Amino acid sequence: MGALMVAVAFFGLLAFGLPVGFAIGVAGVVGIIDMGPRFMQMVPDRMFAGLDLFPFLAMPFFILAGEIMNRSGITMGLVRLADALVGWMRGGMAHSNMVASVMFAGLTGSATADSAAFGNTLVPAMVKGGYSRPYACAVTAAGSIIGPTIPPSTLAIIYGSIMGVSIAGLFAAGILPGLLICAICMTVIALTARRKGLPKGEGRPSLRLVGAALKEGFLAALLPVFILGAILGGFATPTEAAAIAVAYALVVGGLVYRALSWRDLYEVAVRTTRITGVIFLIIASASILGWWMTFNRIPQAIAEGMLSISDNPMVIIGLILLLLLVIGLVMDINATLIILAPVLAPLTVQIGMEPVHAGIMIILALNISLMTPPVGACLFVLASVTGEKVEAITRELWPFILAEVTILLVVAYWSDLTLFIPRLLGL
């Protein structure tokens, strides 16, 4: 009876438009009330305990660093560098969008930040260059999930913190999947370029042009290398590296390029606070619901249910991916991660998966949810920024979704590929 009440409360509140963080928290409280008044003290206890993890401090710092770099206009140097490298191809601006997404990913670790930034800049430029607006938005949405895959990924920080898995290891494991997503999306663009009549660039760029673009985008491109080098080399924790990233962004944006005003810093701080507040509210609320689920042995029931279907590791991995992709269609990925990670991680251990491998598989599956209807966050960000309809974007997006699900299957079933860089670095 309690489980039914919690499900009705959660989905009912979502249907009435209540923000997901509040819906999760209220549903968790409903479950605890059903258990008895003496358990009510667990509500504030679990909210505090859910946030009382030192690695979580890295998230607002990484978000702030990305916001500073974006506001100062430095990231447009990355776009021009990407265009100099691949803009000469047929569908060159679409290819540039993908390459720029890889570079931008190392600054923010956020898909929605990528969507908002490129929705304001690259999408209008692509439309002006002869691309349809829905297609330009679809390319941007497909590339945006590279952000939370390639480090610094906020989902990797959350997963590593709550599951006790090496965040540095998750960062390293996300590099190859992120690059593979870029490669397969560029392949989709290339294969469909002639059929869609995509414009062709003006010819291969000269070394002088590439050199000028590299000079312009060098300092921005250096930040992710600097962050990863510090973390993976063992010189700094993710939290320390995030704080250093903020200092680097302030120096480059404010002193080198002189592109930041005090008003810019205020607006960046406000936006960072809002984004962080939403994420932390979801984490705190999901901690209540997660405790209720654990107390009632729901994770064990789900695990036993999956194992009753089959004990074959290949089948179990497929069921996990299916569960994540389906739930990701209707639920915020941060909440899904916090609620389901404690359920699924032990199951992956039972079938012999490495913790880092399982973590990056779960993270990538949830990242794909960011661009799938009906609640894909990147779709709605692009729709609000560009004025395009979500339905029109989705029609152009399906080839990219199928391609990225293919990469998800490769990541899930080919552990040696996923763990190549972590093992190379001894993580």
The predicted pLDDT at position 317 comes to 92
What pLDDT was estimated at residue 216? 63
Banded pLDDT at 355 (limits 50, 70, 90): very high
pLDDT at 363: 92
Q: How far is CA 330 from CA 150, 156, 325, 327, in A?
A: 24, 21, 9, 6
Percent of the chain with pLDDT over 70: 92
Q: Count CB-CB contacts under 10 A for residue 115.
A: 32
In the structure, what pLDDT confidence band is assigned to residue 188 with cuts at 50, 70 and 90?
very high
Structure-model confidence comparison of residues 294 and 186, the more confident one: 186
pLDDT tens sequence across 267-285 = 888 888 887 887 788 778 8
pLDDT band with cut points at 50, 70 and 90 for residue 181: very high
pLDDT per residue as tens digits for the range 55-114: 777 778 887 887 787 777 666 667 777 777 776 777 788 888 888 888 777 666 677 777
Query: Are 171 and 151 contacting, i.e. CB atoms less than 8 angstroms apart?
Result: yes
Least confident among 120-124, 142-146, 371-375: 371-375
Mean pLDDT of 311-315: 87
Each residue's pLDDT tens digit, 204-234 = 666 666 666 666 667 777 777 777 777 777 7
Q: Does the structure show a pLDDT above 80 at 313?
A: yes
Least confident of 6-20, 72-86, 398-412: 72-86
- Specify the pLDDT at position 224: 73
Say what the pLDDT of residue 408 is: 95
What is the reported pLDDT for 108? Answer: 66
Highest mean pLDDT (candidates 94-103, 192-201, 374-383)? 94-103
pLDDT at 210: 64
The whole-angstrom separation of Cα 349 and Cα 203 is: 51
pLDDT at 182: 92
Domain-wise residue ranges, the chain:
41-424
CB 359, CB 173: distance < 8 Å: yes
State in Å, rounded, how far the first CA of the chain is from the last one. Answer: 45
Chain mean pLDDT for the chain: 81
Asked if the peptide bond before residue 152 counts as cis, ω within 30 degrees of 0, the response is yes
Residue burial 198-224, b: 16+ Cβ < 10 Å; e: rest = beebeeebeeeeeeebeebbebbbebb
Distance CA 244, CA 180 (A): 29
Q: Which residue type is seen at 27?
A: A
- Give the mean pLDDT of 170-182: 91
